[in-house]
Amino acid sequence: MKRGSWNLTPLQIITHIGAWIPLAVGLWDLWQGNLGPDIIREATLRTGKTALILLLLSLACTPVNTLFKFRTVLKLRRPLGLYSFMYASIHFAIFIGVDYFFDFRLIQDALLEKRYAIVGLITGTILLLLGITSTKGWQRRLKKNWKRLHRLVYLAGILAVVHYIWLVKQGVSDPWLYAGIVALLLILRMKPVKKWAISVLQPRIPKRA
């Protein structure tokens, strides 16, 4: 192991601690009986929402660096993505293990009948694939194809928002807020928009000594 390989910046430490807080709060609320009358639905929504937020934060790292020259955030992309996958896995485990008691006939029916379920499964599969191939070893093996593969994270973001919109009841505004964030992140990837944003924002950034 290389010396200093475990050195973390303050921002990385905050990120790791912050990523575990929703799980700790959720377990505490479960212990205290604070998840409301429909515990399964509340736990499902909480874990899914946390997975989505962490995924969007991961997607935001590159534009933040591009627009504000804040390279430190690039070190957060992988852990944020992996934490997103962790919460998505818990979300899925609640669905198949708690809600459907591993009754795969009922799970199959749910996937066929409930559109949010199949979209969620596709999103989770993408996150699983990206999580497995997130290591430097896979980066060396896939070479240029690694970047192409990991662009699927944007598709995962879109599908996660669609899953959330279809899962919650009508009249809830939260999913549309996340949809707007995904749209903004995708727009910022467009070269004309990115070039314009850089020309506007970067001259305002104080030069470091």
68-84 pLDDT, tens per residue?
888 899 999 999 999 99
Whether 4 has a pLDDT exceeding 80, the answer reads no
176 vs 67: CA distance, rounded Å = 24
**What predicted TM-score, i.e. pTM, was given to this entire model?**
0.89
149-168 residue pLDDT tens: 999 999 999 999 999 998 88
Whether 5 has a pLDDT exceeding 60, the answer reads no
91 vs 95: CA distance, rounded Å = 6
141 vs 156: CA distance, rounded Å = 23
85-139 residue pLDDT tens: 999 999 999 989 888 888 888 888 888 888 889 999 999 999 999 999 998 899 9
Confidence of residue 3 (pLDDT cuts 50, 70, 90): very low
The domains of the chain are located at 10-204
What the block records as the tokens of 17 is 């601690």
Whether 171 has a pLDDT exceeding 60, the answer reads no
37 vs 204: CA distance, rounded Å = 51
Confidence of residue 2 (pLDDT cuts 50, 70, 90): very low
What the block records as the tokens of 8 is 């973390």
Tokens 């390279």 belong to which residue?
Answer: 71
